[in-house]
Each structure stands twice: as C-alpha cells, then as structure tokens.
Structure 1
C-alpha cells in the first residue's frame, strides 16, 4: 500500500458542482476498478483526511465501547 500516494491525490480545495448526467459519467471511471482497488483508494483518502500513516493506522480504542444486555 505504500505506493498509493503516487497514484492518488486528495485536493481539499477542489469542488466542482455537477449536474446529474455529468455525475453519472464521473462515476463510470471507478466502475472499471476492482473492489480491492476502490478499498485501497478509500483507505488512502481516509489516511489523508484524518492525518494518519497509511502503513501504520491507529488502533481502535476498545475501552470506549460497552456491552450490555437488553431487557
């Protein structure tokens, strides 16, 4: 996964309003990728957005959650 930054880029300043037909065409680019490649793209963009290292993501804090039985 360390090669992902070479392939993808997150531009936080970019925003482009599209109409419905333009949005359909935009989505077709990602339809040709495998689900594994889309997952890698998602993981890379999350690492950029939340500021963590892609090769060493933070661990989930499991002390925050509780298990309770419902009556």
Structure 2
C-alpha cells in the first residue's frame, strides 16, 4: 500500500441527508468499484480517522485477549 489514494478524502464536517432513492443510486455507484478498490478506500479513510500512517498501520495488542479452555 505504498501509494496513497489522493482522490479520496474524509470531510468530517460534511453530512448529506438522502432519501431512499438517492441512497440506492449512491450505493450503486460504489458497487461499480472492485472489492479491492473499496477495501483501499476503506483502509485510507480509516487511517485518516484514527490518525495512523497508511504504510505502517498499528499492530493489534494481543496481550488484551486470553485463551481459555471451555469445560
């Protein structure tokens, strides 16, 4: 993921209310993208929202979880 998708941006101040038919059209536009493109957009927007470098995402803290044997 060395390339940064410059054409995508996260505008935290923007909100647009849509009716049902407008929302369907919005969804259809994004369904035209491949799943790889949608994943790339998702990762980019997450990196902006949570403030981490896209090329160096934080690692999961595995010390928080435990494995227990069920009886």
TM-score by length of 1: 0.93
Which residue in 1 is equivalent to 2:55? 55
Aligned to 1:3: 4
Between structures 1 and 2, the one with greater helix share:
1
Partner of 1:23: 23
1:11-32 C-alpha deviation (Å, 9 max, x unpaired): 0000011111010001111111
Moved >3 Å (runs of 4+) = none
Cα distance per residue 1:5-62 (max 9 Å; x no partner): x120000000011111010001111111100000000000100110000000001111
Gaps of 5+ in 2: none
Stretches of structure 1 lacking an aligned partner (at least 5 in a row)? none
RMSD of aligned C-alpha atoms? Answer: 0.8
Q: Does the residue aligned with 1:7 lie in a helix, a strand or coil? A: coil
Aligned to 1:40: 40
Q: TM-score, normalised by structure 2?
A: 0.93
